[in-house]
Structure 1
């Protein structure tokens, strides 16, 4: 099989991708800021990154942060991959990065462009948000008596394990360019998702839908982050909540 480097290997997605690749018989290197022997901050690059990439056939680039630095991290990774003769660079992105003018989305789009212009064989997969991101949002919003949501906004969350399966499949294949988007099984209002979360977690909280303003809000209202025509995911938000709540109850 092949030698595959997974960046962001301790993150929500990366920690699921690496075991799948190992189970398929690949040699896997797990890179993150704290994962030895490949503890590397991609934003800084250097000899540690060169060592991590040396002899690698494919890179699955899952590392990301909304706090900034993704473009520099990608540039460093690409430079190291070019030097090492990496055959395939696979990048995970977000549906709507070219339609929703959020700073983080613009950064993800810029990284896509770096990957496409790298001269390496490349694949880019865009997906909708993972279920756990919504849970984190609702946990934060439920800390006050009234959960305030942006009116008229829907979402189409996807199960992260299914995305990990798709990435493992793509990593084992040849560079494929921009592949079909991957979205969750259903488009839901944020209110319906929030109420499902409150019910599953036993929280008591009122819900209010409040109109906002700005181009990003308008893009979300218009569904720029959705892909109902690519509703290929199977796991619903309720499925995720049931598993999560049972896991919390046992801990």
Structure 2
């Protein structure tokens, strides 16, 4: 039986990856800051991280923090994995990290390079944004009476469960390097996605498209985060919303 460590295993993606790996008969260790027995802050490393990694055949690295420190966390994880003789490190990244000069994307690209230079067998999967992330974004923006969106930006959201299926499959295989990108089934304007959210939730908000400045905005506007040639996802954003909110938009 293969032993697989999933970092960020209680998160939106990591939880689903863990479920699928366990269903496949693998022994799965869940690492997060508060999940015992492998409660570890990757940014700190230490003996608890060594204990979590020791004996693992594969590590699936899903952990990330909006508070920063992802590069330090990756360095600590890679060092521990090398000491433990881990055979395969799988990393989830984002389409466009090498094309859009956005701070978080730069961090993801830096971690990709750490993984590639780790000396371990490795696999990197880049995907477009998850449906869940767009939902969180729209929920936050809709707190105001006017929903402000960056003008002329499109998105290609993908279903988190489908990404989990792909990532868990890669974890069961041999190291494959950088695999083909995974994009959602539709490339749509951000305002059309926002209006779908408003309909599904029964909210009424004016949607206003605002032109912005800066290199990151231009990167998104030019579609650097999209992969229309790899629109392999099946579940659309509308289907995701319908399952999440049911008939709320018809009231």
TM-score, scaled to structure 1: 0.97
Matches within 5 A, 1:76-225: 76-225=76-225
Uncovered stretches (5+) of structure 2, i.e. residues with no partner: none
Q: Distance in 1 between matches of 2:185 and 2:138?
A: 20
**Residue 65 of structure 1: how far off its partner (Å):** 1.5
SS in 1 for 2:89: strand
SS in 2 for 1:235: coil
Q: Distance in 2 between matches of 1:168 and 1:143?
A: 36
SS in 2 for 1:92: strand
1:17 paired with 2:3, answer no
Cα separation, partners in 2 of 1:247 and 1:105, compared to 1, 3 Å: farther
SS in 2 for 1:129: coil
Count of residues in correspondence between the two structures: 249
1:65 paired with 2:65, answer yes
Q: Which residue of 1 aligns with 2:44?
A: 44
SS in 2 for 1:96: coil
| CA displacement, residues 135-181 of structure 1 (integer Å, 9 cap, x when unaligned) | 11111111111111111000000000000000110000000000000
SS in 1 for 2:186: coil
User: Following TM superposition, where does structure 1 have runs of at least 4 consecutive aligned residues deviating by more than 3 angstroms?
Assistant: none
Q: Distance in 2 between matches of 1:106 and 1:218?
A: 15
Q: Distance in 1 between matches of 2:135 and 2:206?
A: 16
Uncovered stretches (5+) of structure 1, i.e. residues with no partner: none
**Residue 66 of structure 1: how far off its partner (Å):** 2.4
**Residue 194 of structure 1: how far off its partner (Å):** 0.1
SS in 1 for 2:12: coil
Is the Cα–Cα contact under 8 Å of residues 186 and 236 in structure 2 kept in the other structure? yes
**Residue 247 of structure 1: how far off its partner (Å):** 11
**Residue 246 of structure 1: how far off its partner (Å):** 3.6
